[in-house]
A and B are shown apart, each in its own frame.
Chain A
Amino acid sequence: MQRLPSPYGLLIDRERQIKFSFENKSYQGFAGDSIASALAANNQWLLSRSFKYHRPRGALTMAGQDANTMVQLPSNPNALADKEPLSPGLEVMGQNYSGSLKTDRGALLGLFSRFLPVGFYYKAFFKPRGMWEKWAPLIRKKAGLGVINQQLEPDYYDKQYKFYDVVVVGAGPSGMQAALTAAVDGCEVLLVDENPILGGSLNYSRLDAKGSMAREVRDLLVHDIEANSNITCMTNATVNAWFADNWLPIICQKRLYKVRARQTILCTGALEQQAVFHNNDLPGVMMSSAAQRLIHLYAIRPGKTAVVVTGNDDGYANALDLADAGVEVAAIVDLRDKPRSSPLVRAAKKRGITIKAGYAVYAAQKRGNHLAGVEIRKILSQGICDSQAEKIRCDTVCMAIGYTPTYQLACQAGGQLSYSDKSAMFTLNNLPDGLQIAGSVDSYWELSNCLEEGARAAIIATNALGFTQTDIPEPTAREKHSPNHSWPIFAHPNGKEFVDYDEDLTIADIVNATRDGYEHIQLVKRYSTCGMGPSQGRHSALAAARLVAAATNRTVAETGVTTARPPFAPEHLGHSAGRSFYPARRSNMHYRHIEAGAQMLQAGAWYRPAFYGQATDRDRCIDNEVNNVRNNVGLVDVSTLGGLEVRGPDAAEFLNRFYTFGFVKQPVGRARYALLTNEAGVIIDDGVACRFSEQHYYVTATTGGVDRVYQTMLKWNAQWRLDVDIANVTAAYCGVNIAGPRARQVLARVCTDIDLGAEAFPYMGVRQGTVAGIPARVIRVGFVGELGYEVHVPQQYGEALWDALMEAGGEENIQPFGIEAQRLLRLEKGHIIIGQDTDAMSHPMEVQMGWAVSHKKPFFVGGRTIAELEMKSPTRRLVGFVVNAKNAPIPLESHLVLDGAQMTGRVTSCNHSPTLGKPIGLAYVQPHCAEPGSQIKIKSSGGVMVTADIVTLPFYDSKTLRQEL
């Protein structure tokens, strides 16, 4: 392991060695290393194979901004080796290769690249017909990158909200200055950076010939930030999107922070771009900033001999850094004819570094899987080089030809990207209120300007927040010299000048896309896949825009770039999925059901007992529960039923308008069936309305429908303005239905202050009293068709009520019954379930519930539509049927009713009735088939046709004597 001496190696802890493996070979690194830096320290530069041609790839940015460093980890694929921190024992493998990373058989594809032109997929699979089936298996095998370990236990991911006055994204010089200025003015500031430490480019770049300024400024800024309690720093954190109202999702380790910023300042910096030349993707060819990161952050020499290709003075700073680190700088190849005489240029000259002005790196040569040298040529005109070539042996090429602003977040916020031909650079404008940009993202490059702009952005933010009322300084004057070269693109007869590393796209691919008719940059993207890889066009957008502009005779500004959608960087599914909440509602009696062996089912968020007993013995358990209710006494938890208090002088009038029945004359102490329709006359819910006083109704609703009923009540009364109060008290009450011929005698043992006699407390009567000493509302209802009492008590008394009734019914051997038995009991009684036996078109007459519609009142919701429907011939009716044929399969819900080959209806409920001893059900049929005695054909499971006889409802106790006992 070779390292430069301190103070090189800002991020590494030389006292803590870490062992790891790559491709099953052991290596050592230091704490603070990334995988890529540790491998580089061990002279292992080959990291991955490219997506399409399986070309060897190595570090490009050393900033986690490219796909060249994607490796396979045990826990996740496609990890960025230049971002992923080294950890003890980490087992790292390459990915997307056949054979070995070093010798990848897939690289043979590169030999056939001329047969795989842009749009290959579209062209190849378009014809002949059926070719896709042949290609698909092969492509699917080759496609993709890493492999998901499906055996792995998922890690614990979490989410958290944060709130700040100002969020500064990017802790480079502008960001640090912005944070400090805002914090000094009293704002709570969050300073976020994706790197392990504050400083941004000050950590690795060289600003002066001496090479000390960046570190000195950084240390001062960091010192002040650390001393300011108003600033919270979040490092190793990525602001992965900008959403409306400065809602920022920040990913840090295994947590997704959902941050609300009152003001946001983007100091996201700029992304260095590659020069486009033949073989510009070889390991050893890297951004100049990558080389500087290796040197300064990790104390690693990028190579032995380097060539710097540049179009700005940063390349000279880079060359000086290389030279200081002991790298032989063979030449600075400057695309400019006449480099300006800046201190950095003069320093390079003074160091004796060869400068080839007006030259380009035209091609790179390789030995094995690494760069071995370059061919440089004199530039004759834009992208055209002289035929005379000069070869230079080197193992490193550093590219410093310009930048694009890291515009993604700003564009997501609505910022527009323009292109300046003068500076050959994208610029941002039209930013929304509450969002500022500063620094190199705003095309300021000189340190003093970046600091001024950072402070200025903070003043705008603090003024907007009311912390200050300071005069906002004028924007800093634009700099004369742009770091961007206008055309660092050099086509080669043999191609392989990569514009997009992720997708292996070359100059010809981009140009040919326009020639195929896809001239718009968005179409070029989709046709060529340029910018669609993991790095999302970070290093291809500018070059692609230039090439498309030139090929279509437009300006780059007219050509534009593709949309930068979230997320900014790849994120684990765990960040989105982690720590989700799945609310669960339980009645106070819940555990009594569990203790009694109930199989629970979920209805919305509620848990309800389906039946009691082994799941394998389901049908027998349900039959027993039904028989017990029919012949003895059973107890069912009805706590999940909706409960609504409707109170006030206009309570009766309100219900009269809301439900189909009449309620004005409903006597106190009585319950009345309440059917709810919408404006279209469609049934949407039902329940019973219990009148406890002139101005007080307690209305039940279905478990799943109560919230909608409540909202609908509020909505209508917002219009009607009746003097009524509506309260949803569903959870406030626990309820049971004690049902069966012996229900009265059991209830009487624990309910002594209500006369339960048949005359004193008739069917559909309601009373208030106590049950087992608990204040209770008691309702005589007959959903299951037997003598029954619903007992509703305050929620926290529910379990005590259950216990008391089960104890009171011990002599009668009272048994609990579940939802399945209840559904079967009601089916025998011919009662419908809203939502199961009705659909989005069902109106009362169709389901034989015309009796529940009052024709005497002036208005109710849906009344007018129902009146019109009543005048028309019905198109279907819900009827009861029985299957008399023995051994016939039992039809299931949604099985079709057929008339010949024509579908004429469907089954809504069907089950074997233990009481009748045969299958019974409800189905929609054509009106002419609805008369009792008619027969219908039902297409049952497996296509078996079942004949069913239409019968009069109810199936059981046709004179309804039992519930009125």
Chain B
Amino acid sequence: MIELTPDKALRRSPLYRRHLQLNAQFEQLGEALVVGAYSDTGMEPRLAISLGLADLSCLPRTGFKGPGAPDWAATQGVEIPSAPNTALAQADGSMVAKLSHQELLIVSGMQGDSGLVDNLNQQIPGTGVYSLPRADSHSWLAVTGLLAAEMFSKICAIDLRTHKFAQGQVAQTSIAKINGIIVRQDLGTTPCFHIFSDIASTEFLWDCLLDAMEEHQGVAIGVAAIRSLDATE
């Protein structure tokens, strides 16, 4: 069995040392390693229903902006959300968030399938379409669970309670004093808030989130738990 060591990967999450401290078990995903789980007890999916935090920074994502971006993306088979600050799940499990009339954020599904992202990145964008390096400008964290909104209320001024912040809603806001994009895209029936924020501040945000979660016994979770929840109906 090959030992997967994140500090040998070509692409490294800014959090991999934090993951090592938590005895993470890694799995390969493209050029990077992602955390499968932090323990082998199998409890993480259940804990995630209450409150979990996952690092998805090594999962594929990209972005496009410009006056022609939505139309161009639509011609590539992307289903575009109808209004800014909303997100739409795609048929392949990926998700597209419309950040303004001219800007799209496109992220893979929880399996990390890079099909749509790669396909778009490999195209030569049309006139008035500009790619954005979202995979590297923004980290990707996911906060799951029924207590997520309550936890967020300690670090974010947006009302994220599920009856106020609908599935597919997007907030571009401040989280613990750094800019961030919050997208609610539930995993099965479990509330899930995806955070995209300054990648250089990822450790800071991760620590803030874990600190805020402590009151609610929130824990770090791996992608296995995320996928498990995502598979539930």
Residues of A at the B interface (CB closer than 8 Å) are 158-163, 258, 260, 579, 581-588, 591, 605-606, 639, 645, 647-648, 723, 725, 727, 729, 731-733, 773-774, 794-800
Name A161's contact: one of B133, B137, B156, B200 (CB within 8 Å): B156
Contacts of A258 in B (CB 8 A): 157
Question: Interface centre among A586, A773, A796, by most B CB within 10 Å?
Answer: A796
Once the chains are docked, how many angstroms separate the CA of A453 from the CA of B208? 45
B130 and A727 within 8 A (CB): yes
Name A796's contact: one of B135, B153, B157 (CB within 8 Å): B135
Name B159's contact: one of A163, A587, A774 (CB within 8 Å): A163
Residues of B at the A interface (CB closer than 8 Å) are 7, 9-14, 17, 32, 57-58, 65-66, 128, 130, 132-133, 135-138, 153-157, 159, 161, 164, 176-178, 198-201, 203-204, 208
Contacts of B13 in A (CB 8 A): 796
Once the chains are docked, how many angstroms separate the CA of A258 from the CA of B157? 9
B10 and A773 within 8 A (CB): yes
Once the chains are docked, how many angstroms separate the CA of A732 from the CA of B178? 16
Question: Interface centre among A591, A648, A727, A773, by most B CB within 10 Å?
Answer: A727
Contacts of A648 in B (CB 8 A): 128, 130
Once the chains are docked, how many angstroms separate the CA of A158 from the CA of B154? 8
Once the chains are docked, how many angstroms separate the CA of A800 from the CA of B66? 32
A799 and B200 within 8 A (CB): no
A586 and B135 within 8 A (CB): no
Contacts of A733 in B (CB 8 A): 133, 136
| New contact pairs (14) apart from A163-B161, A586-B203, A729-B133, CB-CB < 8 Å | A159-B154, A581-B178, A585-B204, A645-B130, A647-B130, A648-B128, A725-B66, A731-B198, A794-B133, A795-B199, A796-B13, A796-B57, A796-B135, A800-B10
Contacts of B66 in A (CB 8 A): 725
Once the chains are docked, how many angstroms separate the CA of A404 from the CA of B14? 59
Once the chains are docked, how many angstroms separate the CA of A605 from the CA of B161? 31
A-B contacts, 18 of them at CB < 8 A, read A161-B154, A163-B161, A258-B157, A579-B154, A581-B178, A583-B177, A583-B178, A584-B204, A585-B204, A586-B200, A586-B201, A639-B200, A648-B130, A733-B136, A773-B10, A795-B200, A796-B135, A797-B11
Min CB distance B140 to A, Å, is 11
A731 and B137 within 8 A (CB): yes
Contacts of B178 in A (CB 8 A): 581, 583
A732 and B11 within 8 A (CB): no
Min CB distance B23 to A, Å, is 18
Once the chains are docked, how many angstroms separate the CA of A605 from the CA of B204? 11
A160 and B199 within 8 A (CB): no
Whose C-beta in chain B lies nearest to the C-beta of A723? B128
Question: Interface centre among B10, B164, B208, by most A CB within 10 Å?
Answer: B10
Once the chains are docked, how many angstroms separate the CA of A647 from the CA of B17? 36
Name A160's contact: one of B11, B57, B153 (CB within 8 Å): B153
Once the chains are docked, how many angstroms separate the CA of A922 from the CA of B201? 35
Once the chains are docked, how many angstroms separate the CA of A639 from the CA of B14? 14
Question: Given A161-B156, A258-B157, A648-B130, are A581 and B199 also a contact pair (CB < 8 Å)?
Answer: no
Once the chains are docked, how many angstroms separate the CA of A773 from the CA of B178? 32
Min CB distance A758 to B, Å, is 30
Name A794's contact: one of B135, B176, B204 (CB within 8 Å): B135
Contacts of A774 in B (CB 8 A): 10
Min CB distance A437 to B, Å, is 26
Name B32's contact: one of A591, A639, A796 (CB within 8 Å): A796
Contacts of A732 in B (CB 8 A): 133, 136-137, 199
Contacts of B58 in A (CB 8 A): 796
A588 and B12 within 8 A (CB): yes
* Interface secondary structure of A, over-half rule: mixed
B201 and A727 within 8 A (CB): no
Once the chains are docked, how many angstroms separate the CA of A932 from the CA of B57? 55
B199 and A796 within 8 A (CB): yes
Min CB distance A589 to B, Å, is 10
Name B157's contact: one of A161, A579, A605, A800 (CB within 8 Å): A161
Min CB distance A586 to B, Å, is 6
Whose C-beta in chain A lies nearest to the C-beta of B150? A160
Question: Given A579-B154, A794-B136, are A587 and B200 also a contact pair (CB < 8 Å)?
Answer: yes
Min CB distance A591 to B, Å, is 6
Whose C-beta in chain B lies nearest to the C-beta of A695? B130
Once the chains are docked, how many angstroms separate the CA of A421 from the CA of B17? 72
B153 and A162 within 8 A (CB): yes
Whose C-beta in chain A lies nearest to the C-beta of B10? A800
A727 and B132 within 8 A (CB): yes
Question: Given A731-B200, A796-B136, A799-B12, are A581 and B208 also a contact pair (CB < 8 Å)?
Answer: yes
B65 and A727 within 8 A (CB): yes
Whose C-beta in chain B lies nearest to the C-beta of A580? B177
Once the chains are docked, how many angstroms separate the CA of A723 from the CA of B129? 11
Question: Given A163-B164, A727-B65, A796-B14, are A585 and B153 also a contact pair (CB < 8 Å)?
Answer: no
Contacts of A159 in B (CB 8 A): 154
A800 and B11 within 8 A (CB): yes
Name A725's contact: one of B130, B138, B161 (CB within 8 Å): B130
Once the chains are docked, how many angstroms separate the CA of A162 from the CA of B158? 9
Once the chains are docked, how many angstroms separate the CA of A856 from the CA of B202? 46
A606 and B200 within 8 A (CB): yes
B176 and A581 within 8 A (CB): yes
Contacts of B133 in A (CB 8 A): 729, 732-733, 794
Once the chains are docked, how many angstroms separate the CA of A585 from the CA of B9? 22
Whose C-beta in chain A lies nearest to the C-beta of B164? A163
Name B12's contact: one of A585, A606, A796 (CB within 8 Å): A796
Name B10's contact: one of A583, A645, A795, A797 (CB within 8 Å): A797
Contacts of A731 in B (CB 8 A): 136-138, 198-200
Min CB distance B7 to A, Å, is 7
Once the chains are docked, how many angstroms separate the CA of A219 from the CA of B157? 36
A796 and B11 within 8 A (CB): yes
Once the chains are docked, how many angstroms separate the CA of A162 from the CA of B159? 7
Once the chains are docked, how many angstroms separate the CA of A586 from the CA of B178? 14
Once the chains are docked, how many angstroms separate the CA of A260 from the CA of B156? 13
Whose C-beta in chain A lies nearest to the C-beta of B203? A586
B154 and A583 within 8 A (CB): no
Contacts of B17 in A (CB 8 A): 591
Once the chains are docked, how many angstroms separate the CA of A49 from the CA of B133? 67
A799 and B201 within 8 A (CB): no
A160 and B154 within 8 A (CB): yes
Min CB distance A271 to B, Å, is 32
Question: Given A161-B156, A733-B136, A796-B135, are A585 and B201 also a contact pair (CB < 8 Å)?
Answer: yes
Question: Interface centre among A160, A260, A729, by most B CB within 10 Å?
Answer: A160
Once the chains are docked, how many angstroms separate the CA of A645 from the CA of B208? 31
Contacts of B11 in A (CB 8 A): 794, 796-797, 800
Whose C-beta in chain B lies nearest to the C-beta of A258? B157
Once the chains are docked, how many angstroms separate the CA of A63 from the CA of B159? 34
Once the chains are docked, how many angstroms separate the CA of A605 from the CA of B198? 12
Name B14's contact: one of A579, A586, A723 (CB within 8 Å): A586
Once the chains are docked, how many angstroms separate the CA of A605 from the CA of B17? 20
Min CB distance A347 to B, Å, is 50
Name A583's contact: one of B130, B138, B176 (CB within 8 Å): B176
Contacts of B200 in A (CB 8 A): 585-587, 606, 639, 731, 795
Min CB distance A596 to B, Å, is 15
Whose C-beta in chain A lies nearest to the C-beta of B175? A581
Contacts of B156 in A (CB 8 A): 161
Question: Interface centre among A159, A606, A731, by most B CB within 10 Å?
Answer: A731
Whose C-beta in chain A lies nearest to the C-beta of B205? A583
Question: Interface centre among A585, A587, A647, A648, by most B CB within 10 Å?
Answer: A585
Once the chains are docked, how many angstroms separate the CA of A258 from the CA of B66? 37
Min CB distance A735 to B, Å, is 12
Contacts of A579 in B (CB 8 A): 154
Min CB distance B143 to A, Å, is 15
Min CB distance B225 to A, Å, is 22
Once the chains are docked, how many angstroms separate the CA of A81 from the CA of B9? 61
Whose C-beta in chain A lies nearest to the C-beta of B215? A158
Once the chains are docked, how many angstroms separate the CA of A20 from the CA of B171? 51
Min CB distance A7 to B, Å, is 36
Once the chains are docked, how many angstroms separate the CA of A669 from the CA of B97? 35
